[in-house]
Amino acid sequence: MIQVGVVGSSGYVAGELIRCLVHHPGVNIDFLYSHSNSGMNVSEMHQDLLGHADLKFSSNVNPDIDVLFLCLGHGNSAKFLKNHTFSDETKFIDLSNDFRLKENSNLQGKSFTYGLVELNKDEIINANHVANPGCFATAIQLGLLPLAKHGQLKQSVHINAITGSTGAGKSLSDTSHFSWRNNNISIYKAFRHQHLDEINESLHSLQPDASDLNFLPVRGNFTRGIFASIYTETQLSQEELITLYQKFYEGNPFVFVSEKSVHLKQVVNTNNCFIQVEKIDDKVLVTSVIDNLLKGAAGQAIQNMNLMFGLEESIGIRFKANYL
């Protein structure tokens, strides 16, 4: 059994991660670190785990665990690892943005591999430490990687992506209160979202001259999921585009390519990404949908762990969507 520790155990992503780990047949949860909630039953914080896990939060860490998941706020994972010592055999999977970019991927001699499985599977299998991608970044990259692989990002790329309220985390802000979010929609960080840097690094690794991305992130009035609409110009036909996408994702169990419309209810509560590819005049429209808390965070982290420990990548995260 893989001995697991989780740091930063009280947020939405951590709750989903714990839910996956509790039912994973190959792991044992050693500790759930939360200094402010030490001694509290996990089901008091994550009420969906009532009856599923007899676990308590702890203010102690075991330095000899097999893998440590870091579910801390951006900037805090690096601080935590600098202040805590773990075995040289312990693997780290970080769900913040601290180590995603190549320029930040090394810490005290530890090198982090970018954990987008469909791009870096071979590297992840051999990695000791992984930087889990961002949620917007996951949906957008999965929509664009096949085009970049075949040099099709020659013209400007336009992206409109809407995310559920859980993408903002548990901490309350003016734009996350129910009274503000309900029956409302708004754009934020237009053209400047923090996930653009990691998206560009991945795309340029496949197509060095990939064109600029014009990204409009949108706050939605639903709880979870990301619906990304992406378009650019291409000379490829519909048949060529479908073949291109299907071949790129061949052997990847969580990405499904469709010529029919896709929607959020198909992926919520799953680790799946559904992609629709449609040629309209001289443009290709790509729609990419994921669950921001699973494929965009906790589910993808489990997928990375499975690969790092030689397990079949879908173990513990084969979920059916909540369609109704």
The CATH number assigned to the domain holding 21 equals 3.40.50.720
Same-domain check for residues 64 and 167: no
Whole-angstrom distance, CA of residue 270 vs CA of residue 291:
7
pLDDT band at residue 274 under the 50/70/90 scheme: very high
C-alpha angle with apex 120: 118 to 124, nearest 5 degrees?
115
Other CB atoms closer than 10 Å to residue 122's CB: what's the count? 9
Exposed/middle/buried for residue 316 (C-beta within 10 Å: 0-12, 13-18, 19+):
buried
- Phi/psi of residue 67, nearest 5 degrees: -145, 140
Q: 3-class SS at 16? A: helix
- The answer for residues whose C-beta is within 8 angstroms of residue 234's C-beta and 6 or more apart is 147, 152, 241, 279, 282, 283, 284
The parent domain of residue 91 ranges over: 2-132+297-308
Other CB atoms closer than 10 Å to residue 240's CB: what's the count? 15
The reply to whether 98 falls in a domain is: yes
pLDDT band at residue 168 under the 50/70/90 scheme: low
The reply to whether 107 falls in a domain is: yes
Write the DSSP symbol of residue 246. H
Same-domain check for residues 63 and 120: yes
* Residue 102 clears pLDDT 70, i.e. is over it: yes
H or E stretch including 32? strand 27-33
Higher per-residue confidence, 212 vs 254: 254
pLDDT band at residue 170 under the 50/70/90 scheme: low
> What per-residue confidence (pLDDT) applies to 146?
98
Q: 3-class SS at 266? A: helix
Same-domain check for residues 100 and 157: no
pLDDT band at residue 171 under the 50/70/90 scheme: low
CATH number reported for the structural domain that contains residue 203 in this entry: 3.30.360.10
Same-domain check for residues 157 and 285: yes
The reply to whether 81 falls in a domain is: yes
The reply to whether 72 falls in a domain is: yes
The reply to whether 320 falls in a domain is: no
**Mean pLDDT for all residues in the chain:** 92
Q: What is the mean pLDDT of residues 202-222?
A: 95
* Residue 294 clears pLDDT 90, i.e. is over it: yes
The reply to whether 323 falls in a domain is: no
Whole-angstrom distance, CA of residue 77 vs CA of residue 96:
7
Same-domain check for residues 78 and 162: no
Q: Among the options 20, 71, 135, 273, which is catalytic?
A: 135
Residue 135 known to be catalytic = yes
Strands 226-233 and 283-290, sheet pairing: antiparallel
Same-domain check for residues 117 and 160: no
Total structural domains in the chain?
2
The reply to whether 315 falls in a domain is: no
Would you say 256 and 272 are in contact if contact means Cβ atoms under 8 Å apart? yes
Same-domain check for residues 239 and 151: yes
The reply to whether 314 falls in a domain is: no
Same-domain check for residues 17 and 69: yes
Same-domain check for residues 124 and 179: no
Please give the model's pTM, rounded to 2 decimal places: 0.94
Same-domain check for residues 71 and 162: no
Same-domain check for residues 285 and 139: yes
Same-domain check for residues 152 and 274: yes
pLDDT band at residue 123 under the 50/70/90 scheme: very high
